[in-house]
Amino acid sequence: MSRLEVLKTYKIYIGGQFPRTESGRYYTPLNKAGNPLANVCLSSRKDFREAVVAARNAFGSWSSRAAFNRGQILYRIAEMLEGRKAQFIDELILQGATNAQATTEVHTAIDRLIYYAGWCDKFQQLFGTINPVASSHFNFSVPEPTGVVSIIAPQSNSLLGLVSVIAPVIAGGNTCIVLASETKPLCAVTFAEVLNSSDVPGGVVNILTGKPNELVKYFADHMDVNAIIYCENDATHHKLIQEKAALNVKRVYFYDKVNWQSADAENPYFILDTQEIKTTWHPIENIGGAKAGY
Amino acid sequence: MIDTNLSLSIPDFTVSPRIDQVGIEERAKRFTTRSIKTSSKVSLLKLTLNMIDLTTLEGKDSEGKVKQLCYKAQHLHDTYPGLPTVAAVCVYPSMVKIAKKALGNSGIKVAAVATAFPSGQAPKDVKIRDTKYAVAEGADEIDMVISRGKFLEGDYNFVFDEIAAIKEACGNARLKVILETGELVTYDKVRRASDIAMYAGADFIKTSTGKIQPAATMPVTLVMLEAIRDFYYKTGKKIAMKPAGGISKAKLAVHYLVMLQETLGKDWMSNEWFRFGASSLANDVLMQLEKERTGVYQSANYFSID
């Protein structure tokens, strides 16, 4: 007897839960051959609002975790991803990649997570400074996470692109809301399942699926979002984001020229993008004959 | 003391109506599914603000904290023109004078929790003195707690007499009777306690102290609203309602107002007849109002801390 295959329901990921979109709307992305891939949630602004609340709630404990622990958790994501490699490769192929492309993409994504896991407790030394000042102060600057980051992920590299934008943001202690690739959303939802089973606290990463055209405005104008990352080269979106982000002076980053496959796509400056530099003036007695203040 | 003009016959409280638990919970859930259009939402949110008893009931309350709360009561969010003020500020008796002075002639009332709040475990004369002290300090409203222990023992006369005695001690101040529904366990008991409180002279019945979980819930509030409705049909006397504790989101507050409108009707839709006891609700309502005004989701960073 032939068996009907059980198709997976692709849901969104908010606050460590997998709800359906509150709007009750779905869309059906197609593969290259024009066949439907799956029914995927068409998230609304209210889903985004819920996700921001979850991200804000998660921020306090995530940012105050030991950096080393964050590194362990990122490493754990990579381990879990390794274990489910086959599923990701299948999904990438479903979405139109060749077997070789899919395998490379998954491998690169895993390696990239390991790369940022290592940076978690090291970028502070690289970007932190001890500053020479003229008064009797020990003066130093350290990077601190900016807060909640909204991300519109790359459209083309549905797994690698997603991982490449999420990893540096959470490695730095931020929490985020990510809008997955509109045309290739399958890996994003499966990646959420990986996150959910790898010690990442609920709310640190929230993943929505849907249309950038609908949601860009809200990603850019929400007053409780501290930075926005946008990965496409759409001039109208760029303009809209810059205008709306000005409302609460968000940090705005356009990663539209990055080739996510290349080695240039991983470096600690991506972490620095969502950091704020805090400088502390600590009074001390004069040290050194020349009254050098540090 | 019972208002003799009403010439009430005191019913047998042991036969207060029984509550259908499943029915009341289903009914309460229905109120959360109403579709409310933007303009109605904005006026409901403003009404919510106007119904709030801004509350601070902490052991660590200080003069500064109370003054700051009173300032907030009068200036909820000055960048939004034309906002109403809250209905009252709710404090411990020792803070009444400070609150009264800080509020001046703003029209905002001062409510004081008396009668050995929140446990109510004190002798009757201590409770009466507590109440008289708060009234003498200038409290416009008194929030009393019932003796839940006695109530659960079935000593309804004791509870009734105590409420009546406190009512007498209140003079012109309006009396809110806190049932502490979280300790009464069943809806039947909530209904019975509501009946006792209303017949004994309560001006308000109030769900909770906010110190016990669960505090106010929609089904419990619905039971009490229905008790108020039945009492009104029987005696013609309007009693006010105050759910308190656990209502911190604007959306939930709007659900309560829908329930109020559909249970008691328009006559109760003002802060004379309905209050929210809350400390953090105001900020969420303000954020929603700002969202409607600016079209942009808001951040707590741009509102007062508490």
pLDDT (tens digit, 9 = 90+) per residue, B254-291?
999 999 999 999 999 999 999 999 889 999 999 999 99
Binary contact (B297, A248; C-beta < 8 A)? no
A57 to chain B: closest CA residue: B300
* Nearest in space to A78 (alpha carbons), one of A120, A38, A37, A40: A120
- C-alpha span between A193 and A11 (Å, rounded): 10
- Across the A/B interface, how many CB contacts are shorter than 8 Å? 22
pLDDT digits (tens, 9 = 90+) for B85-111: 999 999 999 999 999 999 999 999 999
Alpha-carbon distances, residue A26 vs A8, A52, A95 (angstroms) = 14, 21, 18
Mutant choice from A175, A224, A244, A247 vs B, greatest count of B C-beta within 10 A: A224
The 10 Å CB-count burial string (b at 16+, else e) for A38-47 is: bebbbbbbeb
Task: Count Cα atoms within 13 angstroms, Cβ side, for A202.
Answer: 12
- Nearest-CB residue to A248 (from B295, B299, B300): B299
Binary contact (A222, B297; C-beta < 8 A)? yes
Question: Per-residue DSSP letters for A155-166?
Answer: SS-TTHHHHHHH
Domain positions in chain A are: 26-260+268-283
Q: What distance in Å separates residue A218's CA from the closest CA in chain B?
A: 8
- With both helix axes pointing from N to C terminus, report the angle between A160-171 and A99-119 in degrees, rounded to the nearest 10: 0
| Residues 3-32, chain B, touching A (beta carbon < 8 A) | none
Q: What distance in Å separates residue A247's CA from the closest CA in chain B?
A: 9
Length of chain A: 294
C-beta atoms surrounding A281 within 10 Å: 14
Structure tokens of B3? 């208002």
What is the model's pLDDT at position A31? 84
Given B53, B130, B140, B143, the catalytic residue: B143
Looking at the DSSP bridge assignments, the partners of residue A206 are A177
pLDDT digits (tens, 9 = 90+) for A168-203: 999 999 999 999 999 999 999 999 999 999 999 999
Q: Is the pLDDT of residue B59 over 80?
A: yes
pLDDT digits (tens, 9 = 90+) for B66-82: 999 999 999 999 999 99
B287 to chain A: closest CA residue: A223
Binary contact (B297, A223; C-beta < 8 A)? yes
Mutant choice from A49, A175, A215, A223 vs B, greatest count of B C-beta within 10 A: A223
A223 and chain B in contact, CB less than 8 A:
yes
* Nearest in space to A79 (alpha carbons), one of A109, A103, A58, A105: A109
Binary contact (A224, B300; C-beta < 8 A)? yes
A46 to chain B: closest CA residue: B297
B97-B101-B106 Cα angle (round to 5): 130
Verify whether residue B206 is a known catalytic residue.
yes
- C-alpha span between A200 and A194 (Å, rounded): 9
Q: What distance in Å separates residue B302's CA from the closest CA in chain A?
A: 9
B233 and chain A in contact, CB less than 8 A:
no
Q: Note the ipTM here.
A: 0.84
| CB-CB contact of A53 with A75 (8 Å) | no
A26-260+268-283: what fold?
Answer: Aldehyde Dehydrogenase; Chain A, domain 1 (3.40.605)
- C-alpha span between B239 and B220 (Å, rounded): 16
Confidence bin at A281 (pLDDT 50/70/90) = very high
Verify whether residue B61 is a known catalytic residue.
no
Confidence bin at A290 (pLDDT 50/70/90) = low
CATH architecture entry for B4-302: Alpha-Beta Barrel (3.20)
Alpha-carbon distances, residue A244 vs A55, A133, A227 (angstroms) = 20, 38, 12
Could you give the 3-state DSSP secondary structure of residue A131?
strand
Residue partners of B246: CB distance under 8 A and separation at least 6: B208, B210, B213, B214, B215, B216, B217
A71-100: average pLDDT = 95
Alpha-carbon distances, residue A62 vs A42, A65, A80 (angstroms) = 28, 5, 20
Confidence bin at A81 (pLDDT 50/70/90) = very high
Question: Omega into A29 within 30° of 0, i.e. cis?
Answer: no
What is the model's pLDDT at position A293? 47
* Nearest in space to B96 (alpha carbons), one of B60, B132, B48: B132
CA A194 from centre of chain: 14
Cβ burial, residue A167 (10 Å; 0-12/13-18/19+)? buried
A217 and chain B in contact, CB less than 8 A:
no
Q: What distance in Å separates residue B26's CA from the closest CA in chain A?
A: 22
| Residues 43-62, chain B, touching A (beta carbon < 8 A) | none
Q: Is the pLDDT of residue A265 over 50?
A: yes
Verify whether residue B306 is a known catalytic residue.
no
Q: Is the pLDDT of residue B2 over 80?
A: no
Binary contact (B296, A247; C-beta < 8 A)? yes
Q: Look up the pTM and report it.
A: 0.89
